[in-house]
């Protein structure tokens, strides 16, 4: 019988990390015990994806896992990043975690960097989505009921009009052929608000769309669905 691996999952708030959790939860040798997310402390948002912290906390509640935040300054050098991430790995070992999972798809240099980060920590790197065909993967996510908003677009790779759209079949069909269907080359980033692994849908709407630091960001706002009591 396979030994059980307690796994810490890198959680960006986007579709790839959400699908990685979905895949890992189907493996009998794995138990995902916590998520970790890097936050831009100055903006109180996920680094790069620019998703509000409150939305990531809502995701963690929807999947029933603790969220371990890593606070990054802005701007943040790679040296600072590595120094701030390291304690999370030490904490993971203390908590009986044996592996760290990432939602990376095919970028060899990113995988090599992750492996280098973990090589002397005692933690095993896992890549549950590695080298899955990205068009088929994107279609599988959508068919399974995953719903996400496009939160960030690199306008040098994809038109700014895609910011704020839903990650759905229409979005995939409208993508230029040079753009990876999962945005693995940094063309776009997402926020998942509904998924097979969520206990509940997170009600959201697209807010302001702004261009900053050579990227186009769409603010995602959580809707207050609480009905007021009659007076």
Instruction: Compute, in degrees rounded to 10, the torsion defined by CA atoms 144, 146, 152, 153.
Output: 30
State what percent of residues in the chain have pLDDT above 70.
Answer: 96
* pLDDT tens per residue, range 160-197: 999 999 999 999 999 999 999 999 999 999 999 999 99
* pLDDT tens per residue, range 72-109: 998 899 999 999 999 999 999 999 999 999 999 999 99
Please report the pLDDT score of residue 3 as a whole number: 63
Q: Where are the domains of the chain?
A: 5-126, 134-222
Q: What is the mean pLDDT of the chain?
A: 94
Instruction: Determine the topology of domain 5-126 in CATH.
Output: Rossmann fold (3.40.50)
Please report the pLDDT score of residue 72 as a whole number: 95
Which residue is it, tokens 């692994």?
197
Task: Using the predicted structure, report yes or no on whether residue 230 has a pLDDT greater than 60.
Answer: no
Residue 223, C-beta contacts closer than 8 angstroms, at least 6 positions apart: 203, 204, 205
Tell me the C-alpha distance between 93 and 47, whole Å. 24
* Number of Cα atoms under 13 Å in the Cβ half of residue 104: 16
Task: Using the predicted structure, report yes or no on whether residue 229 has a pLDDT greater than 50.
Answer: no
Angle subtended at Cα 81 by Cα 30 and Cα 22, rounded to the nearest 5 degrees:
25
């Amino acid at each position: 019988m396979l030994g059980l691996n307690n796994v810490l999952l890198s959680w960006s708030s986007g579709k790839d990390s959400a699908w990685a959790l979905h895949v890992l939860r189907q493996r009998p040798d794995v138990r995902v015990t916590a998520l970790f997310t890097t936050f831009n402390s100055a903006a109180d948002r996920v680094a790069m994806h620019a998703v509000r912290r409150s939305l990531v906390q809502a995701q963690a509640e929807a999947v029933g896992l603790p969220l371990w935040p890593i606070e990054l300054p802005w701007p943040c050098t790679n040296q600072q990043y590595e120094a701030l991430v390291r304690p999370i790995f030490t904490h993971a070992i203390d908590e009986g975690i044996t592996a760290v999972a990432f939602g990376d798809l095919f970028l060899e240099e990113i995988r090599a960097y992750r492996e280098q980060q973990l090589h002397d920590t005692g933690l095993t790197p896992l890549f549950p989505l590695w080298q899955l065909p990205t068009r088929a993967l994107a279609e599988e996510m959508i068919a399974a009921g995953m719903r996400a908003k496009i939160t960030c677009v690199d306008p040098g790779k994809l038109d700014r009009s895609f910011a704020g759209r839903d990650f759905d079949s229409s979005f995939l069909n409208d993508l230029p052929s040079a753009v990876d269907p999962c945005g693995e080359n940094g063309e776009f980033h997402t926020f998942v608000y509904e998924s097979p692994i969520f206990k509940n849908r997170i009600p959201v709407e697209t807010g302001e769309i702004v261009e900053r630091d050579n990227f186009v960001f769409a603010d995602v706002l959580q809707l207050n669905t609480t009905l007021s009591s009659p007076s």
